[in-house]
Structure 1
Amino acid sequence: MSRLNDNPGNRPARQADSDSTDFTFAPATREKAKARLAIMGVSGSGKTWTGLRLTNGLSRRFAVIDTERGAASKYAGINGVTFDTLQLHNYHPQNLISALAAAANAGYEAVLVDSLTHFWSGTEGTLAQVDRAAKSFGGNTFGGWKEGTPLQNAMIDALLSYPGHLVATMRSHTEWSLQTNAKGKKEPVRLGLRPEQRRGVEYEFDVVAQMDTDNTFSVIKSRCPDLHALVLERPDGADIAKTMLAWLDDGATGIDPATYVDRATADDVTFEELGALRQEVDSRGLQSTPFLDPANGTATTLGEYIRARGLALKNATEGSQP
């Protein structure tokens, strides 16, 4: 006998809130997509320059969200790489969401975040938010993570939902290992084994590469077949971008998230239309797309904007009824 429906204590079974979710399956189709790539490595491994060349290869017009005290700008103009930059000194997760929303509003086709590590362990980053929240719970770390986890998740969702190509660098935790060199002698080698970010964050990207102090670029995860297990010494990021674009552009034309933004912000949109739009946006995983609220210029996400505008229209309609 199946026990799937057993309910100890005869308590009412709790039902999932699925009223607004469409569970209809449809044939899978391959659509053109945007790059989601991460480069991790120890200091001096070449992450910033490789990231700049790669992002420039994805789009000639791109922006850099710089947390490395202007490190990226030191490469401006080299090999024709030009870009706009925004330097941040406070790394609250919401600030990255706001920066991405501003970049989307400005129409940048690609963004490089150099580096994502600061939004984890830097000034006012996720760990700082957790520590602050823990103090309000009497030093209870679990209580701190109750506040910090939603901030971190919202930031990663906005990052991966950017309506253009997205490249992020991350510092690696540094460890030393004794290895045999070319002369047969043991020497200490600095290794970066995992990124300084939330554990497992690298798996959120389509392509993840590790760089070492010899500037060797090793792909450790790739959904792009031509980049699988690729190892390059002193890589040319532009060539890597060319390979990625060939893979990303191999598919049917997808829907530009800007189309949904236009529909959501239309002056004559109705409550019913917003409801249908929200279902469509959710089904395509675009609810976390960052953009600036046209009414006040503050950073928001597509899903949150649709929800708030729908609620405002509903309240206005109910308030006008006798």
Structure 2
Amino acid sequence: MFQKAVRKRAKARIGICGPAGSGKTMSALKLAFGIVGPTGKIAVLDTENESASLYAHLGDYHVAVIKPPFTVEKYISGIREAEKLGYDLIIIDSLSHAWAGTGGILEFVDSRTESAKGNKFAGWREATPKHNSLVDAMLQSQMHVIATMRSKTEYVLVDDERGKKVPKKVGMAPIQREGMDFEFTLVFDVDQERHIATTSKDRTEIFDGFHGKLTEEHGSSIRAWLESGESAQNHAGTTQEQQPSGPKSITQDQVMELEAKISEVGADRDKFLAYMGVNRLEDIPAERMTAALKALEAKTKKSDGTPGTVTDITAILAARRIPFKLDETNKEVYATPSYQDTASKEFLKTKGFKWSSSYKAWVIKMAA
């Protein structure tokens, strides 16, 4: 039976992505201390050669080391054990090993493919349910969950203080199953150079436009947001007569404005609706109209449909975690999204990229 949608109290589900050395573990711990408060218990599953213990000066937490092979079963066992021992929050550092590490999912698929005489589908038929079981263990846990994920790295050209192009190492897509970020409430991307975090996903709206180092205070803000939801008991006991009227939705003119903006920037409509947490544009609360426009404007392309500068294009690709390489001599950018990443390929088309079978990449020629 349908009921009025109410945001209930929930546990944190946070992803922190970044290249090696970007400060993912320290950022995770600082958020964790803020989320659980001074009396909370924190557990860490450490796959990074016991590096989590290097930050013991930050506060009290317990560590369980996972050594190779990094099987899904070891991760799930660690989560279950932490639940039994009454921890309030678990940090999985790093989740990437379960995917691409020794004994991880990709290696499991390769071994099954070899035994099945090259039939890769046979490997994935077994691997997908295994990985899904790990995702379910995280999502259904009664603990708060923070998972760090290593990012692939690429070099992009940026302008220095003198306006000259200089290479900068940036994190790209996380080393993890495609679309994994959709499982989290919050996803932060941390850069390697200054340990600055930005949000690539934020259902809380706390970190809209955030650009800075993560602190314990940010964790406290997340805890306040989580606890501001309605308790399941109160929601279950609320009668239809007692339920307050819902928030006012956007007007029809605002719906048309969003329709035009979606078309203008080439946004994925379904992903935009999912980001806003609604099924239709008409259901967007009036107070979230500004946030909706900001989300779409972040994807704005030039009105004449032509590509911008190399820096503009590479910044957009980096923001969307689409792997790419630069050919500065020929003024070309080569984007290489995965075969299954249909959304990214459609996005590249809107930006003027063309598929090149010679380069096995999506290519765009920049203005001289």
Q: CA deviation at 1:152?
A: 0.8
Aligned to 2:110: 131
Q: Deviations over 1:293-321 (max 9, x none)?
A: xxxxxxxxxxxxxxxxxxxxxxxxxxxxx
Aligned to 2:57: 77
Give yes or no for contact 1:40–1:47 (8 Å, CA) kept in 2.
yes
CA separation in 1, counterparts of 2:53 and 2:27? 13
Aligned to 2:13: 36
What is the letter of the counterpart of residue 75 of structure 1? Y
Give yes or no for contact 1:35–1:166 (8 Å, CA) kept in 2.
yes
What is the letter of the counterpart of residue 158 of structure 2? Q
- Aligned pairs, how many? 228
Give yes or no for contact 2:17–2:149 (8 Å, CA) kept in 1.
yes
Q: CA deviation at 1:34?
A: 0.6
Aligned to 1:48: 25
Aligned to 1:224: 204
Q: Which runs of 5+ in 2 are unaligned?
A: 234-368
Q: CA deviation at 1:172?
A: 0.3
Give yes or no for contact 1:221–1:229 (8 Å, CA) kept in 2.
no
CA separation in 2, counterparts of 1:28 and 1:117? 34
1:163-182 counterparts in 2 under 5 A?
A: 163-182=142-161
CA separation in 2, counterparts of 1:201 and 1:191? 20
1:193-212 counterparts in 2 under 5 A?
A: 193-212=172-191
Match among 6, 17, 35 for residue 58 of structure 1? 35
Task: Give SS of 1:48's match.
Answer: helix
Q: CA deviation at 1:98?
A: 0.8
Q: Does 1:252 align with 2:251?
A: no
Q: CA deviation at 1:93?
A: 0.8
Q: Deviations over 1:80-132 (max 9, x none)?
A: x1100000013111111111000000010000011100000111111111111
Aligned to 2:2: 25
Q: Does 1:158 align with 2:132?
A: no
CA separation in 2, counterparts of 1:177 and 1:155? 34
CA separation in 1, counterparts of 2:214 and 2:164? 27
CA separation in 1, counterparts of 2:5 and 2:166? 51
Q: Does 1:140 align with 2:116?
A: no
What is the letter of the counterpart of residue 141 of structure 1? K
Q: CA deviation at 1:201?
A: 0.3
Q: CA deviation at 1:50?
A: 0.6
Give yes or no for contact 1:181–1:187 (8 Å, CA) kept in 2.
yes
Give yes or no for contact 1:104–1:163 (8 Å, CA) kept in 2.
yes
Q: CA deviation at 1:28?
A: 2.5
Give yes or no for contact 1:93–1:152 (8 Å, CA) kept in 2.
yes
Deviates more, 1:30-39 or 1:175-184: 175-184
CA separation in 2, counterparts of 1:254 and 1:114? 31
The RMSD of aligned alpha carbons is 1.3
What is the letter of the counterpart of residue 216 of structure 1? I
CA separation in 2, counterparts of 1:91 and 1:254? 36
Task: Give SS of 1:30's match.
Answer: coil
TM-score, scaled to structure 2 = 0.60
Q: CA deviation at 1:147?
A: 1.0
Q: CA deviation at 1:153?
A: 0.8
Match among 96, 104, 114 for residue 75 of structure 2? 96
- Runs of at least 4 residues off by over 6 Å: none
Task: Give SS of 1:175's match.
Answer: strand
Give yes or no for contact 2:170–2:191 (8 Å, CA) kept in 1.
yes
Q: CA deviation at 1:229?
A: 2.9
Q: CA deviation at 1:139?
A: 1.5
- The structure, 1 or 2, with the larger RCO (C-alpha pairs under 8 Å, 6+ apart) is 1
Give yes or no for contact 1:36–1:167 (8 Å, CA) kept in 2.
yes
CA separation in 1, counterparts of 2:147 and 2:17? 8
CA separation in 2, counterparts of 1:219 and 1:164? 22
Task: Give SS of 2:206's match.
Answer: helix
CA separation in 2, counterparts of 1:243 and 1:220? 18
CA separation in 1, counterparts of 2:6 and 2:182? 23
1:298-317 counterparts in 2 under 5 A?
A: none
Q: CA deviation at 1:195?
A: 0.3
Give yes or no for contact 1:221–1:228 (8 Å, CA) kept in 2.
no
Q: Deviations over 1:11-36 (max 9, x none)?
A: xxxxxxxxxxxxx3333232111100
Task: Give SS of 1:225's match.
Answer: coil
| Identical amino acids, percent of aligned pairs | 36
Q: CA deviation at 1:184?
A: 2.3
Aligned to 2:195: 215
Q: CA deviation at 1:188?
A: 1.3
Aligned to 1:21: none
1:240-279 counterparts in 2 under 5 A?
A: 240-254=218-232
Give yes or no for contact 1:220–1:229 (8 Å, CA) kept in 2.
no
Q: Which runs of 5+ in 1 are unaligned?
A: 1-23, 256-322
TM-score, scaled to structure 1 = 0.68
